[in-house]
Structure 1
């Protein structure tokens, strides 16, 4: 596993980055977008996660699944496949995804804005380890993403930093032996609560 790389030399100062054009103001006044996320599991039962921080609050960092916004005209599945390629250098096909296995609406503070992201989660299972790469990260991602790492359920449960969604250790544990076909709807989670 490669050593964690610093997000950028400017990560410790307030960011000049802004939310992208896919974030639109919703009826509730919050910035909103739809996102596809992927719970990437290896054959050792580990999950590939990204650790990031808010450039406007660099002392707070958290772990989360690979994924991001769904582009106009893109299906949830297409977005999930694109995101694992961009964020982790992992090339998958549609047959490599299971699900969706879970949904949630996350409310969180990021880049000085309160945001709501409606997320759909898929699972991808890998035989053997994959060495993630950050070559596809955008400038904004380089400003706020700190590292990628494979974590076991025990490591997730022991992690002092926040993990999103909060139920991820339980979900990874449940998915270890296969998906039961049930889509878990988590409802709305306020990540700042």
Structure 2
């Protein structure tokens, strides 16, 4: 009897420890699944908010606003169908008609839905795998926790590397006292023959105002620091699709005008990409621009620069190439 007890007690202890560990693991898996659903729901809600903003632009077909509202407030049992309907409506949106910043926000919202859904379904898979074990079912180790469900919707088509990356940009037509404009000369790292001159400026950071971005880029690339009131515009807007270092970009560039008394340019604020791709800078007159055979962006700079020099801005933002 004593021998039997000596054998039974360790077995019981091991069994109890295993059961407690299994129950704890199940508890953690349920917590993980709940957190994953909360993250997915937040991503879906954000997409609905962006969809309503898209609807307000008039670029969408059908009843996008109503469909987005229905998806956001649908019961869990109806959410999959509602989200699939929203995905179909968003796929039909003419994105070329949207402001580039909104395109970027929509792409980001769709990507977050894809990622959150995959994380959620991975958590559900692991939880269900544990719950289906025979011992777990017999001993009801899952307790009263409801069985998690996969969330099956058609993922938005993100088009991978082929889709141009939305890139809102703020640029500055920096003029000296003689009316010359500062341009940088650089090239495409993936194509040694693709060289060009371009204005001061760069990409707008998330949630950054384009005027603030223009002032920041100006300071980083030239060392010149201006107040907001010294920045005029945006006077021009340019939309272009281009390739740089093997990636395609859908750029929306907003051009401001500023004048500086100095022609000294401090490029110590260049980032790594700028250091690797920009080899010189130069102040250009309108006559220089008209006579050069080099590639200059924007293409219409030579024709439109005199107008900027001769008259005050009329408050309108003109499209340029």
Q: TM-score range by the shorter chain?
A: 0.7 to 0.9
Structure 1 residue 73 displacement after superposition? 2.0
Which residue does 2:164 correspond to in 1? Answer: 30
Structure 1 residue 179 displacement after superposition? 2.9
RMSD: 1.8
More strand as a share of residues: 1
Q: Matched residues in 1 for 2:307 and 2:231: separation?
A: 16
Which residue does 1:69 correspond to in 2? Answer: 203
| Contact 2:233–2:313, Cα closer than 8 Å, also in 1 | no
* CA displacement 1:139-185 (0-9 Å, x = unmatched): 11111111111011111112221011100112211111233313212
| Contact 2:204–2:213, Cα closer than 8 Å, also in 1 | yes
Give the number of the structure whose alpha-carbon radius of gyration is greater: 2
Which residue does 1:158 correspond to in 2? Answer: 291
Secondary structure at the aligned position of 1:78 is classed as helix
Secondary structure at the aligned position of 1:106 is classed as strand
Which residue does 1:41 correspond to in 2? Answer: 175
Structure 1 residue 72 displacement after superposition? 1.4
1:119 matches 2:234: no
Of 87, 90, 104, which residue of structure 1 is paired with 2:224?
Answer: 90
The higher-RCO structure (CA 8 Å, 6+ apart) is 1
Q: Matched residues in 1 for 2:319 and 2:194: separation?
A: 27
Q: Matched residues in 1 for 2:175 and 2:240: separation?
A: 22
Where structure 1 has 5 or more consecutive residues not aligned to the other structure, the ranges are 1-23
Q: Matched residues in 1 for 2:247 and 2:207: separation?
A: 26
Q: Matched residues in 2 for 1:32 and 1:143: separation?
A: 23
More helix as a share of residues: 2
Q: Matched residues in 1 for 2:192 and 2:279: separation?
A: 10
* CA displacement 1:66-103 (0-9 Å, x = unmatched): 00011112100000000000111111110110011000
1:108 matches 2:242: yes
| Mapping 1:122-137, distance limit 5 Å | 122-127=256-261, 129-137=262-270
Which residue does 1:20 correspond to in 2? Answer: none
Q: Matched residues in 1 for 2:267 and 2:275: separation?
A: 9
Of 280, 286, 304, which residue of structure 2 is paired with 1:147?
Answer: 280
Q: Matched residues in 2 for 1:31 and 1:175: separation?
A: 31
1:80 matches 2:197: no
Structure 1 residue 130 displacement after superposition? 2.2
Where structure 2 has 5 or more consecutive residues not aligned to the other structure, the ranges are 1-103, 108-157
Deviating above 3 A after TM superposition, structure 1's stretches of 4 or more consecutive aligned residues are 24-28
Secondary structure at the aligned position of 1:92 is classed as coil
Q: Matched residues in 1 for 2:188 and 2:312: separation?
A: 33
* CA displacement 1:113-144 (0-9 Å, x = unmatched): 221111111000123x3211210001111111
Secondary structure at the aligned position of 1:176 is classed as helix
Q: Matched residues in 2 for 1:115 and 1:73: separation?
A: 19
Q: Matched residues in 1 for 2:223 and 2:298: separation?
A: 23
